[in-house]
Amino acid sequence: MSVKSLIVTTKFTKAQREHKCKANKKHIISQNDLRLEVKNERSWDKYCMHCAAIIIKKMQRDSSLIADEFTALK
């Protein structure tokens, strides 16, 4: 049986060049800074580590709410 994942493909990488964070254009990701990359269809959205922490906390909250709801249905 193949199990479906609710989490999109993500990875942490070092920036090859300077660019802006996808979540906040005021956040600059400098060359060699760590960043979070999130698969978006055929491309990747890139986020600074500050925004990555916010995204990860939201994912944890959302997945916890889904798990709680699932447990309540049993």
Residue 5: inside a domain: no
pLDDT tens per residue, range 21-67: 999 999 999 999 999 999 999 999 999 999 999 999 999 999 999 99
How far apart CA 1 and CA 32 sit, in angstroms, is 40
Residue 1: inside a domain: no
Residue 2: inside a domain: no
Note the pLDDT of residue 74.
79
Residue 59: inside a domain: yes
Q: How many helices (H) and strands (E) does the chain have?
A: 1, 5
Residue 38: inside a domain: yes
Residue 28: inside a domain: yes
Note the pLDDT of residue 29.
98
Domain carrying residue 17: 10-73
Residue 56: inside a domain: yes
Residue 3: inside a domain: no
